[in-house]
Amino acid sequence: MLISSIQAVQIVQNISEHVQGNAALISIAEGTAIDIEELIAELNKNGIKFMGGIFPKVIHGSSILDKGIVINTLQNIESLFLVRNVSSKNFSIPEISFEANQDYSLFTYVDGLTSNISNYLEELYASYGMQTNYFGGGAGSLSLKQKPCVFCNDGFFEDAAVACVMKMKSSIGVKHGWNKVDGPFIVTKAEGNVIKEINWNDPFEVYKTVVENHSTQTFTDDNFFDIAKGYPFGIIKSDAEYIVRDPLMVNDNNELVCVGELEDNMLVDILNGDVDSLISASTQATKECMDKAQHPKKAIIIDCISRILFLENEFDTELSSITDAISSQYPDLSIGGALTLGEISSYGEGFLEFYNKTVVIGLFEYED
């Protein structure tokens, strides 16, 4: 459901009617002129359980919105919890007793601009393992200034994550469409989200050599992101999609500042893509997801904001390729989501990862 009102009382009434006693997943576009604290107070006053996040844009159907509130119902909740102090690793994950022969899905929003997100995901996996699917994204502002961006009944927070575990089957498709240009390279030194050395050399020089050669463009003082948005790094994994890392800028030490963390001695390729490869990837992700689903009731799309920054006007095509594919098979399915700062998925297999520049589609199934 999409809510355009910015009056807390009206919003809460709409949510209450929509979720009908269940919990609410609230995704708010950052352009929405709304007092979040007021909204939280009103939701609590009305006894509605909820979690949510603020995003650069939100998705409803086949539309991308700068303003608006997208509501999804969270059914069959086993647990809904808040994790604070993500960056300092000073938190614990609540215990859950998973029943045998029961499907579970965990949905989470995390402050996409905080550090140690990988550690948060590792702790989630260490606690819950293969007993649940994982799906979610990074919240935050496109300005890349960290501020409160995730919320739940306990309040509005930064450096935090909100999550809920539902008794619900889900199918997930994860693809990005970025392909290898050159590599492998070793990130011989990294600190947080900064690449300090590649193959024991100046990282920007190594990156620049490859990218300028492939793109036939030249880096200047003020065009780094304009070129780099088409040339992300990909962390190499066996039998799975690259984990993409977006270089954002070059700092004064010629080091590459990225979105998302990296570690010493990581193997990376330098990737490139185009409109066709990206859109093809989102179509594939949708297909993979639908092939695994049986009776989905809702779809949530978590698409990286940097894809729209790269695709620009063609992003509508990407979104339509996803929504058209879903609607053609499931015409009554509600589709909602957000453009995020990072994507979270288990892809149903193995360790939980924090992706960038990737599209993740989830189809959720439950009994009415």
**Where do contacts with other proteins occur on this chain (CB under 8 A)?**
100, 122, 125-130, 184, 186, 236-240, 264-267, 349-351, 353
Shortest distance, position 232 Cβ to other proteins, whole Å: 18
Shortest distance, position 260 Cβ to other proteins, whole Å: 14
Shortest distance, position 186 Cβ to other proteins, whole Å: 7
Nearest CB to other proteins, comparing residues 254 and 265:
265
CA distance 121 to 115: 12
HSE at residue 310, side-chain half, CA atoms within 13 A, is 28
Shortest distance, position 230 Cβ to other proteins, whole Å: 23
- Asked whether 172 and 345 are in contact (CB, 8 A), the reply is yes
Shortest distance, position 126 Cβ to other proteins, whole Å: 5
The number of residues in the chain equals 368
Nearest CB to other proteins, comparing residues 151 and 233:
233
- For residue 26, give the 3-state DSSP assignment: strand
Quickly count helices (H) and strands (E) in the chain. Answer: 8, 25
What DSSP string runs through 267-305? EEEEEE--HHHHHHHHHHHHHHHHHH-SS--EEEEEEEH
Nearest CB to other proteins, comparing residues 21 and 184:
184
Q: What are the distances in angstroms from CA 86 to CA 48, 175, 215, 258?
A: 26, 26, 38, 19
- For residue 312, give the 3-state DSSP assignment: helix
Shortest distance, position 236 Cβ to other proteins, whole Å: 7
Nearest CB to other proteins, comparing residues 18 and 189:
189
Angle of the 275-292 helix axis to the 315-329 helix axis, nearest 10? 20
* Side chain identity, residue 55: F
CA distance 258 to 344: 17
- Asked whether 338 and 304 are in contact (CB, 8 A), the reply is no
Nearest CB to other proteins, comparing residues 95 and 252:
95
End-to-end CA distance of the chain: 17
Nearest CB to other proteins, comparing residues 130 and 249:
130
Nearest CB to other proteins, comparing residues 6 and 236:
236
In sequence order, what are the beta bridge partners of 105?
133, 166
Nearest CB to other proteins, comparing residues 205 and 264:
264
Nearest CB to other proteins, comparing residues 3 and 244:
244
Shortest distance, position 323 Cβ to other proteins, whole Å: 29
Shortest distance, position 250 Cβ to other proteins, whole Å: 25
Alpha-helix residue ranges (DSSP H) falling in 90-166: 117-128
Query: Residue 327: in which H helix or E strand, if any?
Result: helix 315-329
Shortest distance, position 268 Cβ to other proteins, whole Å: 10
Phi, psi (degrees; rounded to nearest 5) at 99: -80, 150
